Structures are given as C-alpha cells and as structure tokens.
Structure 1
Amino acid sequence: MSTTPILQFGTSRFLQAHADLFLSEGEDALGRVTVVQSSGDAGRAARLAALAAPDGYEVRIEGIEHGQRVQRSQRVTSVARTLSTATDWDEICRIGAEAQIILSNTSEKGLVPMPSDGADRFDQSMSWPAKLTHLLQARHRQGGAPVQVMPTELIAQNGNALRARVLELANDASFAAWVASDVTFVNSLVDRIVSAPIEPAGAVAEPYALWAIQDCPGLITPVRHPAVKVVPDLGPIERRKLYILNLGHTWMISQWLTKGGADYVRELMAMPSWRAALESLYADEVLPVFAAAGDTLAAGYVTQTLDRFANPFLDHRLSDIAQNHAEKLQRRIGAFLDWGKTLGMQGRQPRLTAALG
C-alpha cells in the first residue's frame, strides 16, 4: 500500500470539518491523508470506513456569513485510508517513516501522561505524546528524514509543548539530537464550531473557520485556503479570540445570570436590546484597547463574532457557557482589564468592571 504525505492522528468531527475539509477544497494541497484512530475504539469502525469512502463524506456549513444566512453542503475527499493504532501499528510506522507532515487533534484524555509512557515498546495504553515518540523513533531508525509535526490541540504554543514532552520521553541521545535538529514542531491555533456529527462520518459546522500557523524556518504549508493563515506571531490572534469572542460570551453570562430570558446564545442575539448592548460594549470598552495596542484587525473580528453568536442553526446553551463562570471572569475579563491598564485605559470600561464584581 502506498504512503500519503500527511499522517493524521484523530478522527474527530472537528478535523473532518476543518483540516481535512481544507485539504479537499483548497489549492496546492500537499496531498491526501492517512487518518489514524489513536484511541483504538473498535466501536468506531463504521466511522473509519466512511471517512475513506470513494465519494468522500459530507460537511454541512450552516450559519451567518457577511450578515447573510448560508446553508451549503460539501464532499470531503482528502482521506485516502484509515488505520488504528490498536491493530495497524506496523503499517502506521511504515507510512510515518515517509510522511512529510504528522497532524494531530487528540482528546484532552489522550494528552494525559500514562504509566506505560516510559515503556521500551509501543503500548496502546500510552498517551498521544508517547505514541508519537515511538513513531518518531521508528522513523529515526529508518533513516531519519526531516518531518513536520503539526498539533492542533487547544493548548498555548502546542507545538512547543509537544516537542518538550517528546524530548522528555526520549531515552536515546542520538534520537533526541535528531528530534531537536530535524523534527519541526509547529505552533498553531484553530477555531471553528463543529456543532453536530453526521453518521457514520461527516459533520455540521459554522461558516467561520481559522487555522493560524506560526511561521518558522522550513515551514511546509499543507494547503492554500482562505481559512489557513501563516502568521509571524500567534499572540494577536490568541488575544482576539480570548478578549473578543470568549470575553463576549462571559459578559453575556454575567448579565444572563441575573436577567435570564433565554436558553441559547442565538436567542439573546435575536433580541434587539441584548444585541445592541453587546455591540455597544465592543465599541466602547473592547475595541479601544485593541486600537491602543495597534491591532487593526480587531474590528473585523468583532463583526465575525457577532455573526457567529447570531447563528440561527447553532444550539449553543448559555448554561454550558456558564460553567466555571468565576474562573472565566478572571481569565477573560479580569486579564483584559489588566491589559487595558498597561495601555492607559484604566477607568474607561465601567460595564466590564461591573461584570467582574
């Protein structure tokens, strides 16, 4: 069986409607994908088979785009084959020895260190970083061609974090030196709400999508696509997401907890008074801070955020967003106010200050 230039760990509906979709519909794609189920869950055999169906699988895009309601359907045909770490490890290592990119989006559980992580031989119970370490060791033994690792897990500086864990697990000096010199771990930030699965494979997603990739020497860009952005620094993008989208959610919850009146974000956004209040908050208390920081893209991101909140097809429960509200207030609003103080904005954000309590 031939190899593919991209070896992907994770079968999530997020990847189905994100990276795999971009590779299918974009330009100058590096090539097709071998998708690996790293959990070994035999109950997902139907999903594995459907991902690599000859006619692909469906992704439905539903939401608000440029102020207009959109619904469209696309077929994703970028997946060439599927494998499982539980049954196909030797074949995965063979493909991994030749792949140009190793892509991942594993669960939080898959990142938790396991007792078996330090074993000399591969074990299905290992965490994802340990499995990757064994995969890279196999590549090193077979000549050690350079390779790019692209985690998309929602961890700050995810490439750096994964690199540090692999080097921690490396028990051979030659292998560790090769990882340090010839394996490029790329930091990235991904964003798209994928609201529902389509069985046995496929997903429903919002129009908005982002795959921000931090530039680095020798970077291989997987595909040219409007949602794929190569940037010198992920910091501004992380701040926009945290202090506009996430902050907006948390401010809405601070008001909703006392006023009530709805179950979903879209219901609040359909009420003129709620939408006007949020628009005013962004204009008067949020965007001036970004302007003081020299961020010229924040206003456009606010417009996109309002469209995302108003998505009539998305059942985004306010009660779900309200979980861990006190911690979110500090991380999203408290930290934003602190940032504003460093930029001379102290005292100019009364509604955010009141929400913080």
Structure 2
Amino acid sequence: MAIPTVLQFGTSRFLQAHADLFLAEAMPEARPVVVVQSSGDPARAGRVAALAQGYDVRIRGLQDGKPLDETRRVTSVARGLSLGPDLDEVARLVAGDVEMILSNTADAGFAPQPADAGTRFDMAMSYPAKLAHLLRGRFEAGGAPVQIMPTELVRNNGRVLRDLVLAAAGAMPAGYRDWLRDEVVWVNSLVDRIVSEPLHPAGAVAEPYALWAIEAQPRLRLPCTHPAIREVPDLGPIERRKLFVLNLGHSWIVADWLARGRAGATHVRDVMADADWAGRLRDLYAQEVLPGFAAAGEGDGVAEYVATTLERFANPYLDHRLEDIAQNHAEKLARRIGAFLDWAEANGDTGAKPQLRAALEGK
C-alpha cells in the first residue's frame, strides 16, 4: 500500500506507544507522521522536538504466560510542530498534503469552549472547533476529502467528532458543511493498551497487549497493516468485551478491596498474586460473566479474552493502583457492572450472579 501522510494532533505517551509504534513497525523505512502539539504548551516543546529524533517504547509484561521486557525503536515521526507558533505550517499541511488526521486530545479535548463561537481560529478553542477552521482551508483549496481518525475514548468517536465539528462550523458556508458531512471520512475506532509511564524526553513504557479496532465503512483506508489493527464490521461486540470483562473486572476488584477496608492489596497485580482472591475473580468470569455473553450470542472468543485480561492484570511490571481505579467508583459500578447485569438479563441470562450483585450493592 502507498504510504499515507499522517497529521497527528496530540503528543500523548499513549499515541507514542500505540499508533506511532504500529506505523514504525509496519513501515520501518518510512516516516509518515507529523505530530502537532495541539495545546501550544511551551513546557512540552522538548517532547515535540524529541519525537522526530526517534524514541524508545519499552514493552513490559506477560505474554503467553512468560515475562516480556524489550525495547522497540519508533522512527515514524518526521516532524514535530506546535499549533501556536507553527499554525501557518499546520494549516498548509491540512490544506494539501495530509491524507489522515489522528488525534488523542485527552479527556477534555472534545469539550466545547467559549472561544468556539469566534469567527477566526483561536488557540482557546476546543479541538473540534480548531479542526473546523483548519479543514475549511482544505475545502477552499479544492483538496481531496481527508480521513479523520480520533482515538479518544468516546463511543462512536468518529461520529461524535463529526457532529462537534459540524456544530462548530454552523456559521460557515453551507457547501463546506455539506463537504464535512458527506465527503470527509469520519472513522469510529476503539483503542486499548495500558501505557503506564513516560520516558524522557520522549517514549513510554507499555504492556504487551495492544488493540486498534477500526469500524469498516466505505472509503476507509487502514493506516497500515499490523497485528494490533483490526478492521471490524461493528465495534459493539468489542466495546462490550472491554467494558464487561476488562473494566468490569477492575471495578469488581475495587469493590472487593473496599469491602476489605482497603486492605490486602495496593495494585491490581497484588490481587492476582493472592490465590484465593484471583480464584474468586476467575470464578466470577466463568460463572457470572461468560453466560451473559453466551446468551447474547457473543460468546465466541470471550473465554480467550478473559484469559488475556487475567494475564494483563497479573503484569508484574505494571503499577496499576487500586486507589486510582476507585475514582468515580459509583459511576463505574453502574456503567460496568449494573449495565452488564441489565444487558445479560435482557438477552435471557437469568443466573443469580451473586458476586456481581454484592459488588453493585456495596456488600
């Protein structure tokens, strides 16, 4: 496949150890990525410059039951820009050279800002509003439609970003808004990899597991061919596996830990090192979770995903603190365990599920 020209908004360690690493492994002779620091924060200027020099990602964890600790070199980044001082160059790239736009702009990246109402580009705008102004330059230059690939952890992230960009472009010409809605390719995807800590000045430490699930649609172009990239007809089953296995397991562990008075463990790996505690978690998956997936007709491959999840939990190198997972615990219980119980029952699974119900009820 021809090498795409990729503009990436965000310098996060997640993207460094995810999309940028995949592109480097798939196309070791190419440097297709231009990274843009979207916040303009001068404190991150050193990281932006270092990315284009090449950086290391250290992969640490368990793979097929064996410890893995290796370093991979990432050379996919050709340039680093900052959206403030380099705005003209970013606008030029968006208007002509870029074929794909990636983003990971943190939890607040999609949140509307007061500056979004302005008629000219403003660094105080939200990412969708900035994108609305930048893409207008491409439309007016007669550029080909671009593919937009957000990796933010938002359900239907491509569709959500499209709607936010269209809202930000509400006062712009109707022809441009039609082009945004009908010609630009907005891609829904789901990403999964724990990137536990940064390296300096650039790089990161990450677990072996990685997934970039991309929802199929007409005119979709995958960024590269890589074992971690999967094109799927529907993200729903993958979203449910992540939410109702990985995330549900985390919240059940925290509920049990809170019921013990926060005793017995500090990290998720400590739970897996306790034979009784880990055994109860395995029983939970086998007796209460897997039947729900089977009843919904989504059981194929879930047992293997559970095994992979348990291996991820046992990662001896990962400092995944229970205290951190416990933040917004009540909301997480409702979204992960409560929603699973409702979904399983709606699909005909009427099992008792005592461990899940005890966690939900705080017992």
TM-score tier (shorter) = over 0.9
What TM-score comes out, normalization by structure 1 length?
0.96
Is residue 108 from structure 1 mapped to residue 107 from structure 2 by the alignment? yes
Deviation at 1:112, TM superposition (A): 1.8
The 3-state SS of whatever aligns with 2:70 is strand
Q: Is the 2:62–2:68 Cα contact (8 Å) retained in structure 1?
A: yes
Matches within 5 A, 1:81-120: 81-97=79-95, 98-120=97-119
Is residue 299 from structure 1 mapped to residue 303 from structure 2 by the alignment? yes
5+ unaligned residues in a row in structure 2: which ranges?
none
What percentage of residue pairs aligned between the two structures are identical? 59
Deviation at 1:182, TM superposition (A): 1.4
Task: Output the CA distance in 1 between the equivalents of 2:212 and 2:4.
Answer: 21
Task: Output the CA distance in 2 between the equivalents of 1:24 and 1:236.
Answer: 29
Deviation at 1:203, TM superposition (A): 0.2
Residue of structure 2 equivalent to 1:65: 63
Task: Output the CA distance in 2 between the equivalents of 1:318 and 1:115.
Answer: 36
Stretch of structure 1 that moved more, 142-151 or 22-31: 22-31
Structure 1 residues 103 and 112: alpha-carbon distance in aligned structure 2, compared to 1, 3 A threshold: same
What TM-score comes out, normalization by structure 2 length?
0.94
Q: Is the 1:6–1:31 Cα contact (8 Å) retained in structure 2?
A: no
Task: Output the CA distance in 2 between the equivalents of 1:258 and 1:177.
Answer: 54
Task: Output the CA distance in 2 between the equivalents of 1:334 and 1:29.
Answer: 48
Is residue 10 from structure 1 mapped to residue 10 from structure 2 by the alignment? yes
Stretch of structure 1 that moved more, 109-118 or 157-166: 109-118
Deviation at 1:82, TM superposition (A): 0.7
AA of the residue aligned to 1:211: W
The 3-state SS of whatever aligns with 2:109 is helix
AA of the residue aligned to 2:10: G
Deviation at 1:85, TM superposition (A): 0.8
Q: Is the 1:8–1:36 Cα contact (8 Å) retained in structure 2?
A: yes
CA distances 1:66-87 after superposition (whole Å, capped 9, x unpaired): 1111000000000000111111
The 3-state SS of whatever aligns with 1:58 is strand
- Structure 1 outlier segments of 4+, above 6 Å: none
Q: Is the 2:30–2:76 Cα contact (8 Å) retained in structure 1?
A: no
Deviation at 1:4, TM superposition (A): 6.9
Task: Output the CA distance in 1 between the equivalents of 2:312 and 2:28.
Answer: 29
Matches within 5 A, 1:299-318: 299-318=303-322
Task: Output the CA distance in 1 between the equivalents of 2:290 and 2:360.
Answer: 18
Q: Is the 1:102–1:148 Cα contact (8 Å) retained in structure 2?
A: yes
Residue of structure 2 equivalent to 1:157: 156
Task: Output the CA distance in 1 between the equivalents of 2:29 and 2:52.
Answer: 17
Residue of structure 2 equivalent to 1:347: 351
The 3-state SS of whatever aligns with 1:313 is coil
Is residue 274 from structure 1 mapped to residue 277 from structure 2 by the alignment? yes
AA of the residue aligned to 1:46: G
Residue of structure 2 equivalent to 1:145: 144
Task: Output the CA distance in 2 between the equivalents of 1:110 and 1:323.
Answer: 20
5+ unaligned residues in a row in structure 1: which ranges?
none
Between the two proteins, the alignment pairs up a number of residues equal to 353
Please give the root-mean-square deviation of Cα atoms over the aligned residues, in Å. Answer: 1.5
Deviation at 1:192, TM superposition (A): 0.5
Residue of structure 2 equivalent to 1:256: 257
Deviation at 1:348, TM superposition (A): 3.0
Residue of structure 2 equivalent to 1:183: 184
